[in-house]
């Protein structure tokens, strides 16, 4: 089995780049496929992530949706020491929530050692 047909998502939709779809962003009708390049979190399924800094265990940040380029974001989170942390590719809504959590919750943010963060 290849990446063209990866089964179904939690909503019962077929996933993989072989399936034409529209962007999951409300009101958007841009044509996409349900391949990894359009997956919030960079991988199919909730809790599965591809991309971002490997030193961080990314958890519960993806909505499992598939989005066009206009509704995807690659956030860059700045740490107090000027180093940056790059999360996986996320939809704009999940990225906004991640950035909010990162800014407002020091305990959550500071769980990652700064020496693991890239320059």
21 within a domain of the structure (yes/no): yes
Residue at 75 is within a domain: yes
Task: Please check whether residue 7 lies inside any domain of the structure.
Answer: no
Residue 3 lies in a domain: no
Taking only the tens place, the pLDDT of each residue in 47-97 is 556 666 665 666 677 888 999 999 999 877 877 777 777 788 899 999 998
Total domains, the chain: 1
* 81 or 115, higher pLDDT: 81
Q: Is pTM beyond 0.85 here?
A: no
The secondary structure of residue 78, as a DSSP letter, is E
**pLDDT above 70: percentage of residues in the chain:** 73
Domain housing 90: 16-116
With respect to residue 96, please indicate whether it lies within any of the assigned structural domains. yes
- Residue 21 CB neighbour total at 10 angstroms: 17
């Amino acid at each position: 089995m290849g990446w063209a047909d990866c089964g179904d998502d939690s909503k019962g939709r077929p996933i993989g780049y072989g399936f034409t779809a529209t962007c999951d962003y409300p009101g958007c009708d841009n044509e996409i496929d349900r391949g990894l390049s359009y997956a919030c979190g960079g991988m199919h399924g909730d809790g599965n992530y591809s991309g971002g800094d490997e030193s961080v265990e990314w958890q519960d940040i993806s909505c499992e949706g598939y989005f066009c380029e206009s509704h995807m974001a690659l956030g860059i989170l700045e740490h107090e020491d000027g180093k940056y942390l790059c999360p996986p590719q996320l939809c704009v809504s999940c990225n906004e929530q991640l950035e909010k959590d990162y800014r407002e919750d020091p305990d959550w943010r500071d769980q990652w050692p700064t020496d693991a963060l890239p320059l």
